[in-house]
Amino acid sequence: MTAAEAARRVATHPVQALGRSALAAVRLVGAVGVFAVRGIIAALTPVWFVSQLRRQIVAIGFFSLPVVGLTAVFTGAALALNIFTGGGRFNAEQVMPQIVALGITRELGPVLAALMLAGRVSAAIAAEIGAMRATEQIDAMRTLSTDPFRYLVAPRLLAAVLTLPLLTAVADIIGIAGGWLVATRVLEFNPTVYVRNTINFLESWDIVSGLIKAAVFGFIVALMGCYHGYNASGGARGVGRATTHAVVSSAILIFASDYLLTTLFTHMS
Amino acid sequence: MTSAVPKLAWKGVTKQFGDRKVLDQLDLSVAPGRSLVIIGGSGQGKSVTIKAALGLLRPEAGAIELDGKNIVGLSEGQRRKLFSRVGVLFQGAALFDSLTIWENVAFRLINADGVSRRKARERAIEALEQVRLSADVADRFPSELSGGMQKRVGLARAVVAQPEILFFDEPTTGLDPITAAAINQLISDQVRRLGSTAVSITHDLASAQTIGDEIAMLHDGRIIWRGPASELATTDNPYVRQFVEGRAEGPISHTA
Ligand SMILES: Nc1ncnc2c1ncn2[C@@H]1O[C@H](COP(=O)(O)OP(=O)(O)O)[C@@H](O)[C@H]1O
Ligand SMILES: [Mg+2]
């Protein structure tokens, strides 16, 4: 259905249209759920395609370092300036390092690293698997007695779940360093005091909870890329659609699950 | 075809996408060791016919019988075992573009059969020689080869594990006539060498007559004619005549 047709249908039969989208949404959640379960089973079945896993860890993890690092340093720096300004309104500029550290480790480190991965990796996975679908490579793989969930999906899920926490740890460090740079170069904080305050203040849970979030986000990013690529249809346009859907759905699910996890963690402590 | 159990049979197979019935109670069979060619216009469901037989698409109704046993709805694991007896050359060759040529040919050996990489490479190079490709393409990537060479690699990959049944989906489409003739020859050589049953799709009549013992014409989701390859030129079936003579007017209305 084209967008114009869809719009016409909504205009003439609003209730039907609503019902149809509700049904479609339920079907989609079901389909993604089944796909996720198959992916998890494949990822946990110990007949791994190790060379594929290695390749994906490099592609997903290593090559995302520059973009994650750059995002983190600028965000850390901007965050420091904003919190300094905000803190100034209560004469509380001095707690800036602590707030920056908390904001980065619990929230911005994992979320920003995940969003960068959604843009870079989810799209790349969807495009690659989508192109394989369009050119019958996935069908070919099955006729060669090889399960695409084990060969294609599992290594990507595992690689993302393993590497996003590491990328987040890097983002945490670089983000805090960005704050430190602004604080010491622009705002005349004492470099060693800044570092000491940060270290004394942070609890291990601040960091660990962020890393747990990152693992969940990594799963989401790879799952959305794989799901939309695997189900791509309609040639080159279908592949284009798959990449867009992968990025948009990863981003939305990252934010939604971020809120849910934060709520959960708040109740736990 | 008379008394023996067919190697592969479609029995009342119906496949639809949305409201569109692509296969409508299709009946077709091929005897062991024979080569069947399916002809028909574009979009008539030839690829769907093969994909249903392979279990890549699930028909809404009907049975697919391999050696007399229905194989519709097998589990993934059973299907994987069954695939070890099957070789497929896809329409666009469907080579894995991130793997080298020899890794493509040896894909099944390495990833499903647990053959060591060294041994698998030897067997891949033997298979490449079977399709007249020299060992120095082994380490190149699919994108570095011409369409005809890609088809040869696809053929090598299909025959490397000596399957009982071979499927060829439009093996010569998009190739120049000379390359196409070479591919047809290779296909019929390989089918003969392995003694396999073969099911091929084509809309190239020269191809149909080189590789087919029998020909079936698919139209509107059913087989509307079937006969020995030699009768293709002489039958007075109006659909076949129109197709063979390539006329726009006739019983086949073209909506494309
Ligand atoms: N996976 C699919 N989803 C929806 N429609 C499909 C699918 N595969 C094939 N079709 C439709 O089925 C019809 C027959 O396709 P196909 O078997 O590929 O034709 P051909 O005879 O040219 O090989 C076409 O109209 C095609 O659009
Ligand atoms: Mg086709």
| pLDDT tens digits, one per residue of A235-268 | 899 999 999 999 999 999 999 999 999 999 999 8
Distance of CA B174 to the CA centre of its chain: 16
Q: Where are the alpha helices (DSSP H) in chain A?
A: 3-12, 14-44, 50-56, 65-88, 96-103, 109-117, 123-134, 137-143, 148, 154-185, 191-201, 204-230, 235-268
Q: Which of A139-143, A158-162, B251-255 has the lowest mean pLDDT?
A: B251-255
Residues of chain A with Cβ-Cβ distance to B112 below 8 Å are 144-146
**Other Cβ atoms within 10 Å of A177 Cβ, number:** 17
Pocket test for ligand 1, best of B28, B46, B47 (most atoms within 8 A of CB): B47
Interface touch B94/A137, C-beta < 8 Å? yes
CA of B49 to the centre of ligand 1 (A): 10
Long-range contact pairs involving B251-254 (C-beta distance under 8 Å, separation at least 24): B252/B41, B252/B219, B254/B41
Interface touch A136/B96, C-beta < 8 Å? no
Residues of chain A with Cβ-Cβ distance to B87 below 8 Å are 143
Residues B235-239, mean pLDDT to the nearest whole number: 90
For residue B218, the ligand 1 atom closest to its alpha carbon is 21
Question: Considering only CA atoms, which of A44, A48, A108 is closest in space to residue A72?
Answer: A108
CB A160 within 8 A of CB A78: no
Cα(A150)–Cα(A39) distance, integer angstroms: 8
Interface touch B96/A142, C-beta < 8 Å? no
Cα(B194)–Cα(B114) distance, integer angstroms: 23
Give the ipTM: 0.92
Residue B2 in this model has a pLDDT that exceeds 60: no
Three-class secondary structure of residue B148 per DSSP: helix
Distances (CA, A) of A226 to A24, A53, A127, A153: 20, 15, 9, 6
| pLDDT tens digits, one per residue of B172-227 | 988 888 989 999 999 999 999 999 999 999 988 888 988 999 999 999 999 999 99
Residue A203 in this model has a pLDDT that exceeds 80: yes
B88 inside 8 A of chain A by CB: yes
Residue A17 in this model has a pLDDT that exceeds 90: no
For residue B91, the ligand 1 atom closest to its alpha carbon is 23
Residue listed under structure tokens 């396999």 = B196
Q: What is the pLDDT of residue B1?
A: 47
CB B248 within 8 A of CB B221: no
Q: What is the pLDDT of residue A1?
A: 55
Give which of A41, A135, A144 to mutate to test B binding, by max B Cβ within 10 Å. Answer: A144
B106 CA to chain A: closest CA distance, Å? 10
Interface touch A140/B56, C-beta < 8 Å? no
| pLDDT tens digits, one per residue of A36-68 | 999 999 999 887 788 999 999 999 999 999 999
Q: How would you class A36 by CB atoms within 10 Å of its CB: exposed for 0-12, middle for 13-18, buried for 19 or more?
A: middle
Ligand 1 neighbours (beta carbon < 6 A): B 17, 22, 40, 42-48
Confidence band of B255 (pLDDT split at 50, 70, 90): low
Q: What is the pLDDT of residue B164?
A: 95
Contacts of A212 (CB under 8 A, 6+ apart): A165, A261
Q: What is the pLDDT of residue A91?
A: 87
Distance of CA A89 to the CA centre of its chain: 34
Distances (CA, A) of B37 to A51, A88, A266, B5, B206: 39, 82, 66, 19, 11
Query: Which ligand lies nearest the alpha carbon of B220?
Result: 1
Q: What is the pLDDT of residue A160?
A: 96
For residue B40, the ligand 1 atom closest to its alpha carbon is 21
B229 CA to chain A: closest CA distance, Å? 28
Cα(B57)–Cα(A62) distance, integer angstroms: 38
User: A130 forms bridges with which residues in the sheet?
Assistant: none
Cα(B45)–Cα(B51) distance, integer angstroms: 10
Interface touch B80/A137, C-beta < 8 Å? no
| A103's tokens | 């904001």
Q: How would you class B248 by CB atoms within 10 Å of its CB: exposed for 0-12, middle for 13-18, buried for 19 or more?
A: exposed
CB B188 within 8 A of CB B211: yes
Pocket test for ligand 1, best of B16, B20, B22, B91 (most atoms within 8 A of CB): B22
Query: Which ligand lies nearest the alpha carbon of B51?
Result: 1
Residues A68-79, mean pLDDT to the nearest whole number: 95
Cα(A16)–Cα(A22) distance, integer angstroms: 10
Residues of chain B with Cβ-Cβ distance to A136 below 8 Å are 90-92, 94
Residue A231, φ and ψ in degrees, nearest 5: -100, 15
Q: What is the pLDDT of residue A222?
A: 97
In the 8-state DSSP scheme, what is residue A129? H
CB B135 within 8 A of CB B175: no
Name the interface residues of A facing B (CB cutoff 8 Å): 49, 132, 135-137, 139-147, 151
| pLDDT tens digits, one per residue of B29-65 | 999 999 999 999 889 999 999 999 999 999 999 999 9
What strands lie across the sheet with B165-169, from one edge to the other? B86-89, B165-169, B197-201, B35-39, B214-219, B222-228
Interface touch B56/A139, C-beta < 8 Å? yes
Q: What is the pLDDT of residue B254?
A: 61
CB B238 within 8 A of CB B251: yes
Q: How would you class B160 by CB atoms within 10 Å of its CB: exposed for 0-12, middle for 13-18, buried for 19 or more?
A: buried
Residue A269 in this model has a pLDDT that exceeds 70: yes
| Option in B76, B94, B108 nearest A147 (CB) | B76
B165 inside 8 A of chain A by CB: no
Interface touch A146/B84, C-beta < 8 Å? no
Domain boundaries, chain A: 50-268
**Other Cβ atoms within 10 Å of B44 Cβ, number:** 21
Residue owning the nearest CA to atom 4 of ligand 1: B17
Interface A-B, measured as beta-carbon pairs within 8 A, has a size of 56
Q: Let me know how long chain A is.
A: 269
Return the H-helix or E-strand segment holding B37.
strand B35-39
Cα(B155)–Cα(B83) distance, integer angstroms: 16
Nearest CA in chain B to A145: B80
B58 inside 8 A of chain A by CB: no
DSSP A79-94: HHHHHHHHHHTTT-GG
CA of B46 to the centre of ligand 1 (A): 8
